[in-house]
């Protein structure tokens, strides 16, 4: 019986991590990080 609770807990953790990592907050963080990592010459070419 304890094994089922462990399995259910792991499933819940995966669900929560999936929701957090694909939400609006995560997309905003990814966009800000991409802007910081972009090379200056790439920014000039696209006009950003």
Neighbouring residues of 41: CB distance < 8 A, sequence distance ≥ 6 = none
Query: Domain segments of the chain: what residues?
Result: 21-48
Global pTM value: 0.54
Give the pLDDT confidence score for residue 37 in this predicted structure.
87
* Residues 1-48 pLDDT 10s: 899 999 999 999 999 999 988 889 889 999 999 988 886 665 556 655
DSSP string, 1-48: -HHHHHHHHHHHHHHHHHHHHTSHHHHHHHHHHHHHHS-HHHHHHHT-
């Amino acid at each position: 019986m304890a094994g089922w609770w462990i399995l259910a807990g792991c499933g819940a953790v995966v669900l929560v991590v999936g929701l957090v990592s694909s939400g609006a907050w995560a997309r905003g963080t990814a966009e800000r990080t991409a802007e910081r990592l972009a090379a200056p010459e790439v920014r000039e070419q696209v006009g950003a």
